[in-house]
Structure 1
Amino acid sequence: MTSATVVLFRTDTLTKFGSVGLTELLTPVFEDLLDRSLEGAEFHMTLLPIRDGATLRGDPTLINLRSSHGYVHIRIRQHDAVIYQHPHSVREVIGRPLQRLLGKDFPEEHQMGFGIVADGLAGLSVTRPTPVNEGSIDILARQRQPVFHLEEVAEPGPPEMTAEGLGVPDTDANGPVGVVLTAGVRDQLLRDMELSNKVEEGGFLAGRPYRDAAHPDRHLVLITAVLPAERTGASLLHFTFTGDSFLRISETLARRGQDEALVGWYHTHLFPATVEMGLSTIDIELHSSTFRRPWQVAGLINLDGYGRVLRFYADQAGTIRPTPFQAQDS
C-alpha cells in the first residue's frame, strides 16, 4: 500500500473533512511500541477482507467507513531488515491514534468516520452507518417459545493449594492468576522448543489449576506441558485454532494420563518485546472468546533474533492483563 492516506468524513452527510497521511499517523505509534526511531523505515500494509463495523468509543467517536476490510497486516522494514510484522484491527492501529489527533485539533467534532485511500482500493465502498435516533425503540416480532432449552452445568471448583506447595515462594500475589512452570516447561518455552522466525506459531498449555489458599479470589496454575497445536489454521490475520485442534488436544491429554487440564495457550510474535506491545486486540479476542475459565492463561513469546521474552496474561475483571510467573528449581 503506497502513498496511502486516511480521509476523514462527517458521518451524517459523508462529506470529506480532511485527510492525514497514513505513514505520518503510524510512525509515532510504532516508535512508541518498538521503543526505537523509525527514521528511513518503510511500512508495507495489506488490508484484509475481514469485516469489523464496531464503533471506536471516545471523543470523537470514530467509525471505519470501509468496514468490509477491518484488519490490516503491517510489515516494517528498516535498513534492509524486517523489524516488525503483525496483524491488527484497523480500529486499533489507525482509529485510536486518529482519535487522539482529532480530539486535540478539532474538539468541536464529536462523531466522525474515516476511510483508507490508496492505489487499488477504489473498488471498496464507503458505507454510512444507520443513524441512531433518540427516543427510538426496537419492536421484535412475537416469537414462539422453544420446547426445550440447554443449561450449562457448573463444574466443581479446583482444589486449594499454596505457592509454597507448588515449590515456589509466595512473593507476588498481585495478578489474578499466579503461573508456575515446571523447570522443563521453562526451558522448553525459553530455549529448547524450535520456533519459526517466519510465521507465528502456537499451541496449548496443559497443567493443573488451583485456588490460592493464601489469597482469596486468586488462582494458581501449574503448567506441566507445552503441546504444539495440530490442525490449526494459518493466514495473514492470525494463528487459528480449529475444532479439530481442540479434539486432538483432548485426546492427547487423555493419552498422557496425568490428570492435566487445558490451562491455556501460547503463541509467538516475530518482533522484540516492549512494555507497550503485549497481546494484540486479535489475541485478546481469541483468548476472551475461547479460553473463558478464570484460571486459563495466554503465553506470549516474543522472538528477537536468537533471544526470547516470555510473558503471561489472564483475565482480570473483563480485561486481559499481564500476570506474574515463576519456575520451579527442578
Structure 2
Amino acid sequence: MNQHQKPTEESRTEVMEFVLLGFSDVSHLHWFLFGLFLAIYIIILLGNGTILLITKVEPTLHTPMYYFLGNFSFLEICYVSFTLPRMLVNLGTQRRSISLVACATQMCFVLVLGAPECFLLAVMSYDHYVDICNTLNYSLLMNHKVCTQLVTGSWISGIPVQIGQTFQIFSLSFCASNQINHFFCDISPILNLACGEIFVNKMMVYIVAVLFVLVPFLLILISYSKIISTVLKLSSTTSRAKVFSTCSSHLAVVGLFFGPGIITYLRPKSSHSPDTEKVLSLFYTIVTPMLNPMIYSLRNKDVIMALENYYINNSFE
C-alpha cells in the first residue's frame, strides 16, 4: 500500500513514540561513533565558546563583524545542543526511542534555531558589502542600534513560522511504522511516516525553505557579486588580496551550511534517499558548527592577536 494512502482502521495505530534509527545499520561501530561525536561536540563547545568569549572581552573585536560572529557562535552552540546530545545518548545506550512530544520539541528548536543561522550569515555578508563598497558611510549604516536590530530580527524572525510548521506536521496522523530513518527528528523523515494526504504540508515545507534558506542565500550572492565587482576595480593587488582573504572565511561557512541545506530541503523528493539525507544533515548540523571557529580563527589575524592578548593578560593576573 502506498504510504500516503489512508490506512484502514485496523492498520492504523496511535503513535506515542518514535524510534530514531540513526546509525543502526553500523551498530557494531556504535562505540567508535560515540567517541567521535563526543569529541566533535566538545570541539564545538570549546571552539565556539572561545569565539563568543573573545568577542565579548577584547575591545579590539568590538566591531559589527565580530558582534555578528559572536552571536553566530552562540547560535551554533544552541543549535548543535538539540541534536548531538540526544545522538550520543542513543549511541551509548542503544535505546533509540523518543516520545512524540520530545520529537516535536527537538524539531521545533532545530527549525527555530536554523532560521537565524541563515539570516545571520546574510547579515554578515551585508556587513562585508557595506564595509567594502560603502566605506565612508560604514559607521553610520552599521551603528550599534542597526546591528542590534539586525541580530534581534535574525533571532526572532523564524519563531512563529517554525512553531506553526512544527504544529502542522505533528497534527498529522501517523501510520503503523514509527521508525525514523534519521539521527534526529527532521521534517522529511517525519512526513514519510504520515498517513493521508500531505500535499499541503509538503508545499508549506517548500515555501518556508524558500523564505528562510533560499532568500538569505540569494541576498548573500547579491552582496558578494557587488563586493567582487568593487574589489576588481581596486588598483592595488595587496588590497584585493586582503579583501578576498577577509571574505573567504565567511564564504567557506556559507558553502558548508547552505549547500547541503538547499539540496536537502529544495531538491525533488523523488531523488532523495534516507542515507543521502543523513550525510547532508551532518554537514549543516555538525560539520559547520565544528569548523566555524577554526575557519574564522586560523584565517583571521585579528582573532589570533586578540586570543594572544587575552591569554597574556590573564596569565599575569
TM-score by length of 1: 0.23
RCO greater where, 1 or 2, for CA within 8 Å and sep 6 or more? 2
Q: When you count strand as a share of all residues, which structure comes out higher?
A: 1
